Amino acid sequence: MSNQVSQKSRQKPEAEYNLIDWFVKCMKNYANFRGRARRKEYWFFFLSRSLIMIAAIFLDAILFNDAFLNALEYCESDDCPDFNFVITILASLAFFIPEIAVGARRLHDTNKSGWWYLLSLIPLFGTLALIALLAIEGDQTENRYGPPPK
């Protein structure tokens, strides 16, 4: 019991969180579809995930393009395996469930079901509608998904 108390006392308040703290919080709750997530939590996770994905794309471009593999004499241009997006695909798989989970919790904050996240499957208009839902302010009072996250 005292170990739980000491861990909670060492946690910094959310007001002092930086980009990495928000990212870590979401990754620790990677499969938690219950409760609510404030806008800051969702959008900082979205930003950090986007930056990591951009870095993964650059790493793939550097490490797995044909010119680089040929320069290392790894293979001839016709024999090179097509690994152009290995790191990007692995990063996408790592973020798939956490992205949906924090999105569902964000929708819960606006008193909407997490199933609304499926709007992203509708090209353009569904994605724009989902962005609007994710951007609106959450309920200030308790709703059916729990107390406000602030």
Domain parsing of the chain, residue ranges: 19-135
* Cβ proximity of 41 and 138 under 8 Å: no
Per-residue pLDDT, 15: 84
Per-residue pLDDT, 150: 79
Q: Which residue positions in the chain have pLDDT lower than 50? A: 1-2, 5-6, 9
| Cα 72 versus chain centre, distance | 35
Separation between Cα atoms, residue 38 and residue 9, nearest integer Å: 22
